[in-house]
Amino acid sequence: MRFNFERPRVKVKVDNSFKRSFVARPKRVVIALVVMIVLILISLYLFHPPFNWHSPSFLYYLIIIFGFVFILSFSLNINAIIKENTYRQIMKYAGILLGVIVLVIAAYTLISTSIFNAKEYASRIKVESSDFSIIEEVDFNKTPIIDRESTQALGDRVMGEMPDLVSQFEVSNDYTQISYQDSVYRVTPLEYADLFKYISNRDEGIPAYILVNSTTGEAELVRLSDLGLDGMHYVPSAMFNENLMRKLQLTYPTKIFGSPSFEIDEQGHPWYICTTYTYKGMGTKQMVEGVVLFDPISGDSTYYADPLDAPTWVDRIYPESLVVEEFNNYGSLRGGFINSVFGQKDVFVTSEGYNYLEKDGDIWIYSGITSANSDAANLGFVLVNLRTHEAKMITSAGANEASAMSSAEGNVKNFGYHATFPLLVNVGDRPVYLMSLKDDAGLIKMYAMVDATDYQKVATVSIDDGLDALKESFMGESIDAVDENALVHERVTIKSLRFLDVDGKTLVYLRDSEDREYKLEVNDDNADILGFIEVGDHVDIAYLDAKIRLISNIEKVEES
């Protein structure tokens, strides 16, 4: 009998979960890191925030990235790779770190506001007191009487006449005010209508820009090919690497840019003027740091750390909104933040609106200065050079722009025209508001001048008569100041007589038997005479022979 002493074979099941987990961990970590890096790179390309902690968009970007990482760690189950306690500690301290960063930046930003730094905010712009003599006698070849709304209508009309372009491109709303070839213009580029139009036209680029003369209203579409130039490839409406803001931010990753302005040099070459900014704290006390001149045709650019080093043909480095804010800070915060809110002693601000003035080849922004109570009067005017940041304040009490606009509208109230925001010009060494009068369709029908110190002195003419006739008519409004030798003395027969009340004064419009029109204002010297004259009477008059004949003296001829 044989016995088998061999041990029975027992199948042992080996648990390989630890081995698989050990192998899976590095794979999962690599996948997580790759996905995070890819997401960060994609987000950098799409949003291209400036790597500058002064920029609010940079903080927002960091918060979004942190949120991505947090969500991704859960979706990839990263907490299963490392110990649960370790994972919680990492996320805890990461959250604390981000919170501390946000709180520190927020606290510093709050401390950097005008509440605690009123004097510093007030000194952002250096304002020089001056008198009205710095503004030269008005030159209508350099007076931007055509406003933005009318300019846009003119540009759209020109574009509509270009069938080869109108289906592929649109007109940008830039319309930058510039000084160009000894006159004033607004200029704006064409832009891609949509993504598909960009794809089909990107090889040639944007082929043209629109130039509108701000004094005559003449508009033209300037084709770059006629100037021997290629199309513009790097523009705001382009996509991918040709998008202007992406190109700028990737070229200058630490610079904070605003909205670039489109300009042309004296040869007609297009440029984007890209101002760079810095702040105190995050997003507080904005200041111009430098400027980049960007060539949209080639993509080349030049950075000027000192804006004054930029070429002199550049007109807009300091944006209008910033210089208005700076001057308002100057006018309100010089006496401290508390005074700007409560006492408001010697506090003044700009009026509601601004316009442009050409001076010495540069574009200056103009606005009235009014008290903090915003009454109907101006204390003076402020002029700021948009290239050099030079600011001049002119003390000259008078009516504000709104009152002047109402006065001009009242002078032609039978037509129902609406006044544009006025320009400040020099007429006979006097500050005068110059504006257009438009109908309900937005078409300019007349021009008006209103004395800035006495808004009851108004002159209006048809656009067909022109600005020179308007100036002549306005000069005649001050009839008492006219030399007696300049007056014409004549006896006429009254054919028609019309009285019109305008802003508290009575104007008389008279037509003689030869259909010549005259105008005079009722005053203490002539009220009795005008009360008794009627159609058919003979009168002796002394008048200034301007576009509208202004009567200085009138006497009724008694019948013998």
pLDDT at 439 over 90: yes
User: What average pLDDT does range 111-139 have in this prediction?
Assistant: 92
pLDDT at 19 over 80: no
Q: Are residues 341 and 273 in the same domain?
A: no
Distance CA 200, CA 197 (A): 5
Extract the tokens encoding 422. 């006025």
pLDDT of residue 82: 58
- Would 451 be classed as within a structural domain? yes
* Size of the chain, expressed as the number of residues it contains: 560
pLDDT in tens, 144-166: 999 999 999 999 999 999 988 98
How many domains, in total, are found in the chain?
5
69 CB neighbour count, 10 Å cutoff: 17
- Would 33 be classed as within a structural domain? yes
- Would 349 be classed as within a structural domain? yes
Q: What is the DSSP string of 426-465?
A: EETTEEEEEEEEE-TTS-EEEEEEEESS-TT-EEEEETTT
pLDDT in tens, 179-199: 999 999 999 999 999 999 999
pLDDT of residue 75: 61
47 CB neighbour count, 10 Å cutoff: 13
Domain end marker among 396, 425, 453: 396
Q: Give the DSSP H or E segment for 325.
A: helix 320-333
Q: Which of the pair, 509 or 224, is modelled with greater confidence?
A: 224
- Would 80 be classed as within a structural domain? yes
Pairing of strands 355-359, 362-371: antiparallel
- Would 13 be classed as within a structural domain? no
User: What average pLDDT does range 472-495 have in this prediction?
Assistant: 76
pLDDT at 451 over 50: yes
Find the domain containing 451 and state its range. Answer: 400-477
User: What average pLDDT does range 503-521 have in this prediction?
Assistant: 84
Max avg pLDDT among 8-22, 49-63, 117-131, 262-276 = 262-276
Q: Within 13 Å of residue 477, how many CA atoms lie on the same side as its CB? A: 23
Q: Give the DSSP H or E segment for 304.
A: strand 301-304
List the CATH number of the domain containing 533.
2.40.50.140
Q: Are residues 442 and 523 in the same domain?
A: no
pLDDT at 69 over 90: no
CA 412, 413, 417, 419 torsion-angle sign:
positive
pLDDT at 482 over 70: no
Distance CA 363, CA 318 (A): 11
pLDDT of residue 199: 94
pLDDT in tens, 37-62: 888 888 888 888 999 988 888 888 88
pLDDT at 104 over 70: yes
pLDDT at 12 over 80: no
pLDDT at 544 over 80: no
pLDDT of residue 22: 42
pLDDT at 515 over 50: yes
Domain end marker among 424, 454, 477: 477
Extract the tokens encoding 404. 């002047």
Q: Are residues 275 and 413 in the same domain?
A: no
* Arithmetic mean of pLDDT over the chain: 87
Which residues is 210 bridged to in the sheet? Answer: 188, 221
Q: What is the DSSP string of 458-509?
A: EEEEETTT-HHHHHHHHHHHSGGGS-GGGEEEEEEEEEEEEEEEETTEEEEE
Q: Which of 178-187, 361-370, 422-431, 550-559 has the lowest mean pLDDT?
A: 550-559
User: What average pLDDT does range 494-516 have in this prediction?
Assistant: 83
Vertex 254, ends 249 and 255: CA angle to 5°? 65
pLDDT of residue 313: 97
Q: Are residues 302 and 155 in the same domain?
A: yes
pLDDT of residue 23: 45
pLDDT in tens, 523-543: 888 888 888 889 999 999 988
Provide the whole-model pTM: 0.79
Q: Are residues 341 and 266 in the same domain?
A: no
Q: Are residues 214 and 294 in the same domain?
A: yes
- Would 5 be classed as within a structural domain? no
Confidence of residue 18 (pLDDT cuts 50, 70, 90): very low
**CB within 8 Å of 532: residues ≥ 6 apart:** 556
User: What average pLDDT does range 97-104 have in this prediction?
Assistant: 82
Q: Are residues 404 and 389 in the same domain?
A: no
Domain end marker among 477, 492, 523: 477
Confidence of residue 228 (pLDDT cuts 50, 70, 90): very high
Q: Are residues 379 and 416 in the same domain?
A: no
Q: Are residues 390 and 404 in the same domain?
A: no
- Would 169 be classed as within a structural domain? yes
Selection from 423, 309, 415, 437 nearest residue 365 by Cα: 423
Q: Which of the pair, 362 or 6, is modelled with greater confidence?
A: 362
Amino acid identity of residue 151, one-letter, is T
Distance CA 255, CA 187 (A): 26
User: What average pLDDT does range 392-412 have in this prediction?
Assistant: 90
- Would 190 be classed as within a structural domain? yes
Distance CA 464, CA 265 (A): 32
Q: Are residues 57 and 38 in the same domain?
A: yes
Q: Are residues 285 and 147 in the same domain?
A: yes
**CB within 8 Å of 549: residues ≥ 6 apart:** 516, 517, 518, 519, 543
User: What average pLDDT does range 287-316 have in this prediction?
Assistant: 97
pLDDT of residue 76: 59
Q: Are residues 192 and 296 in the same domain?
A: yes
pLDDT of residue 70: 72
Q: Which of 40-49, 76-85, 215-224 has the lowest mean pLDDT?
A: 76-85
pLDDT of residue 553: 87
pLDDT in tens, 236-286: 999 999 999 999 999 999 999 999 999 999 999 999 999 999 998 888 899
**CB within 8 Å of 542: residues ≥ 6 apart:** 487, 488, 489, 551, 552, 553, 554
